[in-house]
Structure 1
């Protein structure tokens, strides 16, 4: 991870032709779990990602110039979809990769015939909330004490977007 994580100075948008999406494989799980642990204080585990794959969730890997840059996990329901995880390496944030991932999962869900997309976000994660607002997500409900926090629990905002 340290060879990839060099800092956050460059905020130049990354051209779409430098990005590639593929299904997450078992070979990607070590990297994804390591990235998750670097990004979040309360990360998903290797097992969480493996269980998502085993459950048949749509697990995507985003590459920038061939290097892993982010990932997303999408659970398809009967009529709707739930975005369970969407993450971009910190040094690549603010360069359009989160939006590229969001576009990919929204199009995948819409093409699969889903009419709405749901997700939860920490109340304190204002950067993610800004991305979701940009994508037309609106507050569906507040989930009290949904996430573990350093002291106690933190509320989640459940957001919804029509597809």
Structure 2
């Protein structure tokens, strides 16, 4: 389901369930992001329950994943993959050619998911996260016919 500014509270609640306290974004953060150009977000449902979220930002032909998370009780049900498929399809229709993201080098499950989906490692940001961990920078070619 497409999310907008009216969903900022729900997005914040989802984010709080998906991430450690130091990494959580509040309602004000989501509201502020929706006020900037190029933002699009989705909420994935499991039955009728909000189970996860994806927020992207597009600028010209590049886009980035700002956040992607699935509540712990709904993980390993391909919900993150579904969110990414929806996001990538939308980005393609809006002319994006490359999608980027940062992910903690400590988040083995997320790194494995992104690599499985065809993302490629393209860099590293030292001490990027509040806990001091590095971030792997990954990219995804939205124009590739071999995906």
Which TM-score applies when normalising by structure 2? 0.89
Which whole-Å CA distance do the structure 1 matches of 2:75 and 2:4 have between them? 20
Query: In the TM superposition, what is the alpha-carbon distance from 1:61 to its structure 2 partner?
Result: 1.5
Which one of the candidate residues 66, 83, 88 is aligned to 1:84? Answer: 66
* 1:43 paired to 2:34: no
Q: What is residue 13 of structure 2 aligned with on the other side?
A: 34
* 1:155 paired to 2:134: yes
1:83 is paired with a residue whose SS is strand
Structure ID, larger Rg: 1
Query: In the TM superposition, what is the alpha-carbon distance from 1:103 to its structure 2 partner?
Result: 0.4
| Aligned-pair Cα RMSD in Å | 1.2
8 A contact 2:57–2:64 mirrored in 1: yes
Which whole-Å CA distance do the structure 1 matches of 2:102 and 2:79 have between them? 19
Q: What is residue 46 of structure 2 aligned with on the other side?
A: 64
8 A contact 2:5–2:30 mirrored in 1: no
Which whole-Å CA distance do the structure 2 matches of 1:55 and 1:63 have between them? 25
* 1:23 paired to 2:3: yes
1:74 is paired with a residue whose SS is strand
Count of residue correspondences: 139
8 A contact 1:24–1:61 mirrored in 2: no
2:101 is paired with a residue whose SS is strand
Which whole-Å CA distance do the structure 2 matches of 1:31 and 1:58 have between them? 15
8 A contact 1:116–1:161 mirrored in 2: yes
Instruction: Give a deviation string over 1:75-125, Cα, whole Å, max 9, x none.
Output: 001111111111111101101101100101111111111110000101100
8 A contact 1:52–1:73 mirrored in 2: no
Moved over 6 A (4+): none
Q: What is residue 145 of structure 2 aligned with on the other side?
A: none
Gaps of 5+ in 2: 143-147
* 1:136 paired to 2:115: no
